[in-house]
Amino acid sequence: MLGVTAEILVTAGVGVLLYVFWFAVVNPAVVGAGQTATAAQQSRLYSDRLSHAEATPSATPLATATAAPIDVPVAVPVLAEPGRIAAPIAVMYVPRFGADWKRIVRQSTETQVLNSATAGVGHYTGTAMPGGIGNFAIAAHDTGYGNTFLGVGTLKVADRIYLQTDSGWYTYEFRNFQYVQPNAIDVLNAVPTVTTTGTTDRIITLTTCNPPYHSRERMIAYGTFVEFSTAAPTELAPALAQGN
């Protein structure tokens, strides 16, 4: 009887170790590879659509932001927020996270988006869309499920964050971090942590758990809008030349 109990305990111990190995190594690798492949596919789709739209300019009418800051001379197209959960919004590139790093940003921050092998980054419903005035707020896991935002803490001031959409490329620049409690939803405000409705700023907010493998607090990375272009950023040329 003692021998059987010992065998069950040893088996359970091995099972726990296997689960930890799966969660920390296997799952991030498998899900991350899926997220990268799907993002590459979506990126090619956006590129094809953009080429087609440029060939036929009237094919894709876009809404434009009603007020532009002084330092943004051209009208920035802003796509309508999708109503369907997991609808693709953009393909996100952050060179600081790695030359090959890319993820699809999908609508909603439900687990079906954040844990998905075809997504990884979720857009907080109701916040601004890429290039829109206000706060384009997104979330992803730091560890597990592709380790999507594990590199957020490595961002340096002025690092570029690119968003590729049907209409072109939106470029943001990282500015600063903030560490908050998990219930600090005011970081999603149009002006983060400030209660106001009037703003002309275009902000991006990346949220993820902190520290890695724990969810005691949230790491928030803020960036500001730099420019919109229909041409792919030169910084991404090597990655894009390799077929995404």
Using the rule CB under 8 A, is 161 a contact of other proteins?
no
Judged by DSSP in three states, 14 sits in: helix
Nearer to other proteins, 110 or 173 (CB): 110
Using the rule CB under 8 A, is 97 a contact of other proteins?
no
On whether the CB atoms of residues 218 and 184 are closer than 8 A, the answer is yes
- Tokens 């290039």, residue located: 131
Using the rule CB under 8 A, is 4 a contact of other proteins?
yes
Number of residues that bind other proteins (CB under 8 A): 38
Binding to other proteins, residues 35-94 (CB under 8 A): none
d(CA 45, CA 63): 21
Least Å from the CB of residue 149 to other proteins: 7
Q: Residue 110 contacts by C-beta under 8 Å, 6 or more apart in sequence?
A: 85, 122
Residue from 154, 193, 200, 215 in contact with other proteins (CB under 8 A): 215
Residue from 27, 42, 43, 118 in contact with other proteins (CB under 8 A): 27
On whether the CB atoms of residues 217 and 182 are closer than 8 A, the answer is yes
Least Å from the CB of residue 215 to other proteins: 4
Using the rule CB under 8 A, is 144 a contact of other proteins?
yes
d(CA 214, CA 171): 30
Residue from 119, 161, 188, 239 in contact with other proteins (CB under 8 A): 188
Residue from 17, 75, 185, 237 in contact with other proteins (CB under 8 A): 185
Tokens of 43: 């990126």
On whether the CB atoms of residues 143 and 213 are closer than 8 A, the answer is yes
Least Å from the CB of residue 27 to other proteins: 7
On whether the CB atoms of residues 202 and 133 are closer than 8 A, the answer is yes
User: For residue 79, with 0-12 CB atoms within 10 Å meaning exposed, 13-18 middle and 19 or more buried, which class applies?
Assistant: middle
On whether the CB atoms of residues 185 and 195 are closer than 8 A, the answer is no
Least Å from the CB of residue 22 to other proteins: 5
Residue from 102, 103, 202, 218 in contact with other proteins (CB under 8 A): 218
Residues that bind other proteins (CB under 8 A): 4, 7-8, 11, 15, 18-19, 22-23, 26-27, 109-111, 114-115, 122, 124, 139-144, 149, 180, 182-185, 187-188, 207-209, 215, 218, 220
